[in-house]
Amino acid sequence: MSESQTPCPRCGTAVEPLQEYCLECGLRLRTPGLVAALASGWRRRLRWYPGDWIWPSLLALVIAVVAGGATIWWTRDAESAATETVIGDTSQLPTAPPTVAPTTAPASPTVPTATTRTTRATTTQRPASSNRLIEWPKARNAWTLVLVSLPTSAGREQAVARARQALGAGLRQVGVLDSSRYSSLHPGYYVIFSGIYPSLGEAQDAASKAARAGYGNAYARRVTS
């Protein structure tokens, strides 16, 4: 290991200073900031970059435009509500003829009607058990939370035991998958995962719950068939 390299906090493999993922276990070493990601996208499309100050300025401009539009809409609505129709002298308006009450026929006796009682059958659905391991859905591409990665040489039984420990810690949708079957994962590992999420943000939000359960090194990863 050279002086510029540092060990991976999970498996100890040497990594470069700007390396984002560990090539051995797949641990994410650093997450780029939002401003840095936006600046990188700007530079890919335009040669000239004004500086990081452009992003708060654009945000302030958008807020000002939205506030101005809301003010115009509210003003027009208030003016339309305040408009009144003024009628002139009403002494010359034609008067309606007096209303004569129609003769009412004697009321017929009411006949009680029979009420029909309908009985609704209620069905009880048993919720899925939360203390069982799940299988990754077939042909499903989604994000998940990687809790632990074990080499396949350790055996699937040990991976299943670690997954049951995660269930006992309060995590949900826990299962074991073979990384060799998925193109987005490094082959040769049993991956203990928790949750199936449609977006990276939802998976990252779940990482705080996993950390409270004792899995501080859990990280979000996309599983692609």
Residue 221 CB coordination number (10 Å): 23
* Residues in Cβ contact with 4 at an 8 Å cutoff, skipping those fewer than 6 apart: 16, 17
- Residue 176 shares a structural domain with residue 202: yes
Angstrom distance (rounded) from CA 7 to CA 22: 9
Bigger pLDDT: 143 or 40? 143
- Given this model, what pLDDT does residue 194 score? 94
The tens digit of pLDDT for each residue in 72-97 reads 988 876 666 555 444 444 455 555 55
* Residues in Cβ contact with 94 at an 8 Å cutoff, skipping those fewer than 6 apart: none
Angstrom distance (rounded) from CA 194 to CA 173: 5
Residues in the chain: 225
Lowest mean pLDDT among 52-66, 132-146, 175-189: 52-66
CA distances 7 to 14, 29, 35, 126, Å, are 5, 11, 28, 48
- Residue 48 shares a structural domain with residue 18: no
Handedness of CA 193, 197, 203, 209 (dihedral sign): negative
The tens digit of pLDDT for each residue in 38-52 reads 766 766 677 666 777
The tens digit of pLDDT for each residue in 94-139 reads 555 555 555 555 555 554 554 445 444 444 444 445 679 999 998 8
CATH of the domain at 192: 3.30.70.1070
CB 16 within 8 A of CB 224: no
- Given this model, what pLDDT does residue 115 score? 47
pLDDT at 36 over 70: no
Task: Decide if 131 is inside a domain.
Answer: no
Task: Decide if 121 is inside a domain.
Answer: no
Give the structural domain span for 11: 1-30
- Residue 147 shares a structural domain with residue 201: yes
- Given this model, what pLDDT does residue 10 score? 85
The token pair that represents 21 in the structure block: 């993922």
Task: Decide if 10 is inside a domain.
Answer: yes
Task: Decide if 80 is inside a domain.
Answer: no
* Residues in Cβ contact with 11 at an 8 Å cutoff, skipping those fewer than 6 apart: 22, 24, 25, 27
- Residue 10 shares a structural domain with residue 44: no
pLDDT category at 61 given cuts 50, 70, 90 is very high
- Residue 178 shares a structural domain with residue 215: yes
The tens digit of pLDDT for each residue in 166-178 reads 999 999 899 999 9
- Given this model, what pLDDT does residue 182 score? 94
The token pair that represents 107 in the structure block: 């009321």
- Given this model, what pLDDT does residue 196 score? 94
- Residue 202 shares a structural domain with residue 167: yes
pTM for the complete prediction?
0.44
Q: What is the CA radius of gyration of the chain?
A: 34
Task: Decide if 89 is inside a domain.
Answer: no
Angstrom distance (rounded) from CA 176 to CA 42: 40
